[in-house]
Structure 1
Amino acid sequence: MSFDGIFTHAMANELNATLSGGRVAKIQQPYENEVVITIRAGRKNHPLLLSANPQYARVQITHIPFTNPDVPATFTMTLRKYFNAATLTAVHQVQNDRVLHFEFSTRDELGDELGLRLIIEMMGRHSNIFLVSERTGKIIDLIRHVSADQNRYRPLMPGAPYVEPPKQDKTDPFHDPDRRYHALEREVTPALSRAALLQQHYQGLAKDSATELALRLNQGDAGWDGFFAALATPVPTITAQGKKAVFTAIPYVSLTGEQSQYPTLSTMLDAYYEQKAEHDRVLQQGGNLIHVIKNVLDKDRKKQRKLQRTLEETEKADDYRIRGEVLTTYLSQVERGMTSIELPNFYDDNRPIKITLSNQLTPSRNAQKYFAKYTKLRNAVAHVHQQMQENQEEIDYLEGIMAQIDVASPKDLADIRLELQQQGYLRKQKTNKKGAKRQKVAKPDQFYASDGTKIWVGKNNLQNDQLTLHTAKKTDIWLHVKDIPGSHVIIDSHQPSEKTLLEAAKLAAYFSKARDSANVPVDWIEVKKIRKPNGAKPGFVVYEGQKTVAVTPDVELVDKLRNPPTK
């Protein structure tokens, strides 16, 4: 299910029940189009996520950790100014549209009551979040400013009156006393299904919701009423359909596949979006890094192919030498102006060999030309092999960086950017501050084995070096996927149990280029046997005497190991 009007209706009910009457405790904007407002209600802090992300626009209570920027955005500062000690009084949906209004009550500088409305419109690339004054109806600020040239229907700038999005001439399915769907039955044709008609005439129905309603209408009014009655007490469900997963507020009988159910809509969305949205943020924020690496990789791969062709050419070196010697032996038979000649090849039982000549050169110069080609190719062999090795090492290194970006969280990108600057792939950022602090490497991710043993996972090369060479004890156990780019994993124990060892190996396999493979070989060894060669690139180490175990990555286990085991 997409976050359509049906799901928005159910989410509004959940947020009203959980947050109404709560006070704003904290406001953060970890990402460009997303705000987290922590609301204290029922003696608990509830981080409310409002996302205007073009792909993942949604509203929910979230417990996915995030990293705040060093400097707050302008929209964040505006919200903090107006929402100081504000109380959330209500959450309501605009008809069955993907628009939610959060009503807040606070006081202005004079102590007078001030009504504020935070509006989120979840409409794909047109998604936006507005802070509006209830008194004047004007926009105080919004997360995405849009000029009049880009949107002529309504002004989307601070100070402009808030105008609702264009309305469609459709019926709110939650308020349909005339039961319009009865009349739609006469319009059903092979080319226009019942689900398509429902989408045309009812507001806020995504394709999967329309398909579900169309199927339930086989039971008549009872099916229709039953669907909307069930939404009053949601049973949040994710239905797995191969590699695709679908989330719904209630189990949909029209969907087939393995179903997982969750206690709230918000916890379900955390499970659904944690990896998906996080990876999208990494791709968005790390776009320039990926662009630089891909360009260098393309250049290196072309160079490798060119070197390979040169190497294949060197195999002809002896052929040039033989032709030169044959020419020199029978030089008296060669006349200037010839373009080719056949002569006995005394290296091959005097079988004739055809030799191409330049009619602009003397016979002697033609022979010298073949010897020169032979000498050049013979001398090139060692040089080409060395170049190919160095070029392949750079390809392997950059492919490793790409693999790290693939498993990175947004906080890891700063380390990867710093490493690329240190290695000369990116320009170092200029700073005007004297004595500016050196950028610290982010801490590795911490996990807990089933028996409570701590396991550390480096998410990039700088973290890997810091973890393995400086943080880990010499008696700790070190793990890494065999011969594949991936994370350094440290078990904080010199004698881990077999189960802990397997769990750490699965973490190493998951945080590697082989995360989608099965039976991934993982090396493990004591940290004291790890060494880093002089001049080696970040993250590169060597070791001997390791043991290897084969495991299959398990995303559910990874999520489970993020938290300490409950006693």
Structure 2
Amino acid sequence: MPFDGVVAKCIVQELTAELAGGRIDKVLQPESDEIVLAVRAHNKNRRLLLSASPRYPRIHLTETVRENPPVPPAFCMLLRKHLTRGRIVSFEFNDFERIIGLNIEAVSELGDYSSKKLIIEIMGRHSNIILLNDAGKILDSIKHVDSDISSVREVMPARQYMPPPSQDKLSPSGLDMIKLTEFLDSSGKSIERFLLDNIKGFSPLLCREVCWRADIDGQRRAAGLSDRERISLSEALCSVIEEIRNDAYRPAVYYEDEQHQVPHDFHCLDIKQFVFREQFDSISQVLDKFYDSRDKAERLRTKKADLYKVLSNSIDRCAKKLAIQQDALREAADREKLRLYGELITANIYVIPKNTKNVQLMNYYSESGEYVEVPLDPDLTPQANAQFYFRKYAKAKSTYINTSRQLEQTQSELDYLESVLQMLDNCTSLQEIDEVRQELVDQGYMAQKRRRHDKKDPAATKPFHYRSSDGFDILVGKNNIQNDRLTLRTARSADIWLHTKAVPGSHVIIRRNGRDIPDRTIEEAAVIAAWHSKARMSSNVQVDYTMVKNVSKPNGSKPGMVIYTNYKTAVVTPDQLLVERLRA
């Protein structure tokens, strides 16, 4: 992620303007590696986030309200003791190093003043948040680094703080192009790698940007450039350096496509290589947007992963069970032959010789009267052989009846689990995932998580809402519980219900409101139903539709399972652009 030295310079300038002189009212620690300072500055309440996350280390103002643990961690309690009611005097930042210090005038419980420094080191998995006293000794840190972890630099209470070794690179503040060119001539590295290794504060993103502006492949060897290419590279680098020196910031989040779904990159400079961007007034807004979106996407993936595992295991179990039951049915399919053998032996019991292994008997059920070869157990009498076949027939018949019923139940369970899997695929928020989890808990597939007694149940999520080109409201269930509620409670009998034929998907309702529903609206609703189904990536998807009064739920059936009659079928192809255009 490009929280490089240039972004660090930009954020320090912003925090100085926004928070210098501010009072620290609260200290919170929502995560094991994150601190939030509630600061009152310039008659505003602000939240300053400091994160030592190995993946997303950063510091910025945030609007995101994070949930805090019921018992504050020890480091949080220490910070509260030393920093609460203290004032932020200034922010320290040195020559594009990603080490930022907060100089704080602290106030003890007795009203005594002392100087404290809170340092955040933004260094990937080695990131840390460290509290120092006025003598530069470490009071504590959010991560302890002892001699077993690092023989070079310990970060432990009571140790004197030593900053990480300075990078042996050229500073953008006083970049010597002649010296840089000398390095370039002798380098065997790629251009991007050369820039990254030789200029302080540059991230891979900025190195790619320089190459993009110079119209040069950044993976080429730095020493192999022509004179013209060297001039282009020098001019591109100078343009970036000039923007840094002049604080020519244009904070933005960058995307790979125009849908702006998950951010791809961010920076405080104008990154021209990206077409799709979202501009912001401050770098904190950019960082909040970028990391909040990334964090949300990651938490969605993590939460979904647990449920995917449960569903995958349950679906595999059902599929194996179904295969066993189908094999049992195939074996029981010959049951009538067993009954026939028993009856033919009984009809010919006095003409069948003893101690024979098989016998040819006429099948009197057949119009042609052909003979059937009947296997026998030579150790049994003809009557005992007949009873053997009748017993096997009775057992096979019972197996067929019971297994048929079990197979129907297993197939129904498999259909249900695949529908839940489809609903999980469509989840776009943590609450929607929690509702799917609760459904699996209610159906006995997962254990109920222990919950805090003071935590209230959130309000149920609402169905997706679309509006057809003709002005009709179209509602789409987000999970099976919601599907039942939408179809059986919310919808009126004259509304139109839609669902993909024989494919897991959401229930879709067109609200009639006393009007005739035109074919165009039905077709658009069918496209929406296909999009919210397992057939999303298919073409020519069959979607059944009927009036809600023709839809019913069998007793004892699982959530989302219904039967319907008097339906018609539309054939459509899912269209993402149409679905997005009709979103209400």
TM-score if structure 2 supplies the norm length?
0.69
Corresponding residue for 1:101? Answer: 101
1:182 CA drift (Å): 0.8
Residue 206 of structure 2 is aligned to residue 209 of structure 1: yes
Cα offsets for 1:346-393 (capped at 9, x unmatched): 569788988877788777767666655544343333333332333334
C-alpha distance in structure 2 between counterparts of 1:160 and 1:180, whole Å: 39
Residue 112 of structure 2 is aligned to residue 112 of structure 1: yes
RMSD (Å) for aligned C-alpha atoms = 5.6
Q: Which runs of 5 or more residues in structure 1 are unaligned?
A: 562-567
1:2-81 equivalence runs, <5 A: 2-24=2-24, 27-63=27-63, 65-66=64-65, 68-69=67-68, 71-74=70-73, 75-81=75-81
Answer yes or no: is the 8 Å Cα contact 1:479–1:508 preserved in 2: no
C-alpha distance in structure 1 between counterparts of 2:473 and 2:47, whole Å: 27
Residue 385 of structure 2 is aligned to residue 386 of structure 1: no
Corresponding residue for 1:444? Answer: 461
Which of 441, 444, 464 is the aligned partner of 1:424?
Answer: 444
Answer yes or no: is the 8 Å Cα contact 1:132–1:139 preserved in 2: yes
Q: 1:197 to 1:27 in 2, by over 3 A?
A: same
Structure with higher Rg: it is: 2
Letter matched to residue 248 of structure 2: T
Q: 1:445 to 1:244 in 2, by over 3 A?
A: closer
Corresponding residue for 1:137? Answer: 137
Answer yes or no: is the 8 Å Cα contact 1:521–1:551 preserved in 2: no
Which of 289, 295, 309 is the aligned partner of 1:277?
Answer: 295
C-alpha distance in structure 2 between counterparts of 1:518 and 1:133, whole Å: 67
Residue 246 of structure 2 is aligned to residue 228 of structure 1: no
Q: 1:230 to 1:437 in 2, by over 3 A?
A: closer
Q: Which runs of 5 or more residues in structure 2 are unaligned?
A: 215-229
C-alpha distance in structure 1 between counterparts of 2:44 and 2:406, whole Å: 61
Answer yes or no: is the 8 Å Cα contact 1:4–1:204 preserved in 2: yes
1:227 CA drift (Å): 0.8
1:211 CA drift (Å): 2.9
C-alpha distance in structure 2 between counterparts of 1:244 and 1:532, whole Å: 39
Q: 1:348 to 1:200 in 2, by over 3 A?
A: farther
Q: 1:86 to 1:323 in 2, by over 3 A?
A: farther
Corresponding residue for 1:301? Answer: 319
Counting matched residue pairs gives 549
1:293 CA drift (Å): 4.0
1:54-453 equivalence runs, <5 A: 54-63=54-63, 65-66=64-65, 68-69=67-68, 71-74=70-73, 75-93=75-93, 95-142=95-142, 144=143, 149=148, 154-155=153-154, 161-165=160-164, 169-177=168-176, 180-189=179-188, 192-214=189-211, 216=214, 218-231=231-244, 232-235=247-250, 236-240=252-256, 246-249=264-267, 250-253=269-272, 255=273, 258-263=275-280, 264-284=282-302, 288-318=306-336, 372-403=391-422, 405-406=424-425, 407=427, 409-411=429-431, 415-428=435-448, 440-444=457-461
Q: 1:21 to 1:260 in 2, by over 3 A?
A: same
C-alpha distance in structure 2 between counterparts of 1:86 and 1:512, whole Å: 55
Answer yes or no: is the 8 Å Cα contact 1:118–1:132 preserved in 2: yes
Letter matched to residue 423 of structure 1: Q
Q: 1:348 to 1:60 in 2, by over 3 A?
A: farther
Letter matched to residue 390 of structure 1: Q
Q: Secondary structure in 1 aligned to 2:408? A: helix
Letter matched to residue 258 of structure 1: V
Q: Secondary structure in 2 aligned to 1:229? A: helix
Q: Secondary structure in 2 aligned to 1:182? A: helix
- Give the % identical residues: 29
Cα offsets for 1:96-151 (capped at 9, x unmatched): 44443344433222333343433334444444434444544314341x55676555
Q: 1:130 to 1:447 in 2, by over 3 A?
A: farther
C-alpha distance in structure 2 between counterparts of 1:519 and 1:3, whole Å: 46
Q: Secondary structure in 2 aligned to 1:120? A: strand
Letter matched to residue 254 of structure 2: I
1:404 CA drift (Å): 5.0
Q: 1:536 to 1:345 in 2, by over 3 A?
A: same
